[in-house]
Amino acid sequence: MKTQVAIIGAGPSGLLLGQLLTNAGISNIIIERQTPDYVLSRIRAGVLEQGMVDLLRKARVSARMDAEGIVHHGIELAFAGRREHIDLKALTGSAVMIYGQTEVTRDLMAARAAAGAETLYEASNVKPHDLQSAAPFVTFDKDGQSLRLDCDYIAGCDGYHGVSRQSIPSEAIKTFERVYPFGWLGILADTPPVHEELVYANHERGFALCSMRSATRTRYYVQVGADEQVEDWSDDRFWAELKSRLPADLAERLVTGPSIEKSIAPLRSFVVEPMQHGRLFLVGDAAHIVPPTGAKGLNLAASDVSTLFDIFCQVFHHGRSEATAQYSSVCLRRVWKAERFSWWMTSMLHRFPDTDAFGQRIQQAELEYLVGSPAARQSLAENYVGLPYEAIT
């Protein structure tokens, strides 16, 4: 088997890159170790930056998003018993789109099938080889056969635990990491949203987030200890805890119901440098993780995809193989800004186990300054809607 770009991982970043390449006439094959149903079962992000929305439109997979997605012009911060509106549109001229990662993945799968592009699901023992040579390849097992895929380049879109980053010698990369001493307990429920915009709540009992997937499906989170087990949280206990952390007016109109899905996600910040090794390029969670507080995980993956797609167009359409050297530096400039924003949002809104009375007052002062300063509001807004993508030169 041979293709121009081998893509490891059929999550949204791998599928989006594949769709853009297919539309541009650049051959690609995606290798995925899980089944399509398993990939679709992963409940993840739902806030799309304007840059990702534009990229999905560029990939010609936006019809359902444009019809069913919910455009949000602002967010709310809740603290000290009150709510403050941050008008994203007025402050930046941009907005965000509420459209679940599962739906993005579903749309991309459908588009890839319609285009006749090849995705090899349930592939095991996937391994990239000869990454520093001009002829890398990927080996894997599929349907009882050991197969080899020859290619010009490899895109590692297989997440934090995937084989792509693990295939790079440890001495060739450097990692930066911060693990937070808490997680997010989240539930998905078929209930109407408590508010028309996302609400980020700072409370003495811990952080809470009111989010949504549609006008009838909601996603709520509460901060829990790192040692908590999801089995210890009944639906009733979750709803009671969420209500206790919201301003009274929101708590009174919260509609509860049975959860469809419930899970605890640990929080960490993680970056690997560089994001490329020879002809292997790390994309999305394979290269960086952010706490979900700033809604940057999926959006950072999309900006990686945009950069890598532009580079591959330079390589295959214009013979500019030297453009590949820009990938890591261009991506990392945006990655670290998003890491900073996500760390800042997490630090401002969560209760840390070692926070003393002084630390709590500083946190309160940070929130008061933020909502009272037009410049601080604009800084939050421009980071939340997403910093611009950097062009390849």
Known catalytic membership, residue 200: yes
Helix axes 297-318, 12-23, angle to 10 degrees: 30
CA-based angle 352:354:356, to the nearest 5?
100
Which residue type sits at 68? Answer: E
Catalytic residue, candidates 195, 203, 277, 296: 296
Catalytic residue, candidates 200, 220, 221, 327: 200
Known catalytic membership, residue 384: yes
Q: Cα(152)–Cα(134) distance, rounded to whole angstroms?
A: 7
CB 224, CB 253: distance < 8 Å: no
Known catalytic membership, residue 317: no
Instruction: Find, among 88, 102, 122, the residue nearest to 40 by Cα.
Output: 102
Phi/psi zone of residue 212: left (φ > 0), alpha (ψ -120 to 50 degrees), beta? beta
Residues 6+ apart with CB under 8 A from 263: 43, 185, 186, 230
Catalytic residue, candidates 12, 72, 193, 389: 72
Q: Cα(142)–Cα(256) distance, rounded to whole angstroms?
A: 45
> Where does residue 232 rank: exposed (0-12), middle (13-18), buried (19+ CB within 10 A)?
exposed
Q: Before 292, cis peptide (omega within 30)? A: no
Q: Cα(4)–Cα(29) distance, rounded to whole angstroms?
A: 8
Known catalytic membership, residue 2: no
Known catalytic membership, residue 353: no
Q: Cα(79)–Cα(245) distance, rounded to whole angstroms?
A: 9
Catalytic residue, candidates 203, 288, 292, 389: 292
Catalytic residue, candidates 220, 327, 384, 389: 384
Residues annotated as catalytic (active site), given as ranges: 72, 200, 292, 296, 384
